[in-house]
Structure 1
Amino acid sequence: MDLGADTALSRVQLKWEAAYGKSYKIQTSTDGSTWTSAYSTTTGNGGTDDLAVSGHGRYVRMSGTQRGTAYGYSLYEFEVYGAGASTPPATPPTTPPTTPPAGSGADLTDPHKKEIAMELVSSAENSSLDWKGQYTYIEDIGDGRGYTAGIVGFCSGTGDMLDLVRHYTDLKPGNVLAPYLPALEKVNGSASHTGLGAAFESAWTTAAKDTVFQRAQDDERDRVYFDPAVGQAKSDGLHALGQFAYYDAIVMHGPGDDSTSFGGIRKTAMQKAKTPAQGGNETTYLNAFLDARKAAMLTEAAHEDTTRVDTEQRVFLNNGNLDLNPPLQWKVYGDPYAIND
């Protein structure tokens, strides 16, 4: 973080996402090159860390030295507080800040853009922009995948719900969902509710109030869907809109390679147009991808409403908004939504 001037520090607040640091340091620098530790811990446990620090500097960073989970380090917010500033250094840092600013040109890993992506998916999956309110969501939508639940629609019939409950149990043995692991293993690959039912639905609702289960949902969303989709999109040379189009597709269709899964949809699009990484035009390629995505949706009765393509993603593309910059206005299932900043 660049404070813009050499500043005396008094407090740092870290608001961890699912992947937190068990061991980390808060370090300061006047030139962006030489760093001094202002705080360190080896017992971090996630959530919000409100830290009293002493020292000064223009640049402040969190340096992780041991992960609290298997999924790296991720922060919702990094707040730095101080008292007054002296004259900024005359020379710029030798290493520029590595975190892109929210706004034009930032990719979907930017926290602001990721929040936008979560809200866009939630508008289609849950008819609400409040994606954090969906940890408790669970129902059978009749698509042959059993229960659909949580922030990205983890399904009992496709394995990702099973993986989620296993991860939750690794993080918190003896949780209320752990007894249902044998049943989830048996119904995997089917639409069956055998061994689950109302009791499982109730247990899910109870678990969803647990921040550890919320963290597990965030972890699995990123591991199975968000990180692979964004990574592939960046390799294909796509900006934030294309990264979101990949992410939304992998959430609905899964990460497989058959014609109606994300990998197959991408292959179909690449038969029609080159990706930017191959020297193609980004808008032309994204139109081909959305065409292939729409065709895949129309093969399933539960997904035959294609408005999340027609009146959402295609609207942004037709407006030339490849960076997915607000303000954004769209409709899903006829309902209007907006993100203004």
Structure 2
Amino acid sequence: MRLVSSAENSSLDWKAQYGYIEDIDDDRGYTAGIIGFCSGTGDMLKLVQLYTRREPHNVLAKYLPALRKVNGTDSHKGLGRRFVRDWKKAAKDPAFQRAQNDERDRVYFDPAVKQAEKDGLRALGQFVYYDAMVMHGPGGDRLSFGGIRKSALAKAKPPARGGDEAAYLNAFLDARKKAMKAEEAHEDTSRVDTMQRVFLRNRNLDLKPPLTWKVYGDKYTIKK
């Protein structure tokens, strides 16, 4: 989470990101929370639905009709400044924080780690998959996680199929960069170039600290 937060929020303090919300001009509407739930891609809607099932009278429940309408678009209709204000207010609620954690795990973290384990990848590979899942989504098209993995498999075998782990991860990162460059909002590939490839070049396949890297020019260190 600290590694991803350095790229997503320019901070290692991922727990401070529950209230993060802005439109980053990537045609996905609002991006918010600990892994960037988006109003235009459906995962923000599912998050607020989960929160509302658990806490029916929460401050975000009234926005569910608007979130349904803007799903699939970059529209702010029915949301706007009041929604931004109420998101930040909800972020102080432990129930909303738990909902964010649970949706992160269900949609992104658990599927990424499970697939990485099936492919025979250690901690670095699991992180590489998770970071790709967060940015590109779990779909199967060429710009989503499934498509990126498919492109990598066409170039190299993962360890579970008898391949070299580092060679496969390099192929995956090559495919990831192509997907990033295909979208203007993601064309800065430093989270691959100056973070993930650094760990890979150092053969730190178990992600053992200390870890030092840069993202978007900023330097970070995790000592333990």
Indicate the structure with greater helix content.
2
1:1-341 equivalences in 2 (<5 Å): 118-341=1-224
**TM-superposition CA deviations, 1:214-235 (whole Å, max 9, x none):** 0000000000000000000000
Query: 1 CA distance for matches of 2:206 and 2:146?
Result: 23
**SS of 2:204's equivalent?**
coil
Indicate the structure with greater strand content.
1
Query: 1 CA distance for matches of 2:124 and 2:208?
Result: 9
The corresponding residue for 1:79 is: none
Larger radius of gyration: 1
State the 1:245 CA deviation. Answer: 0.2
**SS of 2:212's equivalent?**
strand
Q: Which residue identity is paired with 2:135? A: M
Give unpaired runs (5+ residues) of structure 1.
1-117
**SS of 2:11's equivalent?**
coil
Q: Tell me how many residue pairs correspond in the alignment.
A: 224
Residue identity (%): 74
The corresponding residue for 1:113 is: none
Q: Which residue identity is paired with 1:204? A: W
**TM-superposition CA deviations, 1:95-144 (whole Å, max 9, x none):** xxxxxxxxxxxxxxxxxxxxxxx000000000000000000000000000
Query: 2 CA distance for matches of 1:277 and 1:324?
Result: 19
Give unpaired runs (5+ residues) of structure 2.
none
State the 1:171 CA deviation. Answer: 1.0
State the 1:255 CA deviation. Answer: 0.2
**TM-superposition CA deviations, 1:140-197 (whole Å, max 9, x none):** 0000000000000000000000000000001111100000000000000000000000
**SS of 1:145's equivalent?**
coil
TM value normalised by structure 1? 0.66
Query: 2 CA distance for matches of 1:310 and 1:171?
Result: 41
Q: Which residue identity is paired with 2:114? A: G
After superposition, the CA RMSD in angstroms is: 0.3
Q: Which residue identity is paired with 1:301? A: E
Query: 1 CA distance for matches of 2:208 and 2:29?
Result: 36
**SS of 1:272's equivalent?**
coil
Q: Which residue identity is paired with 2:113? A: V
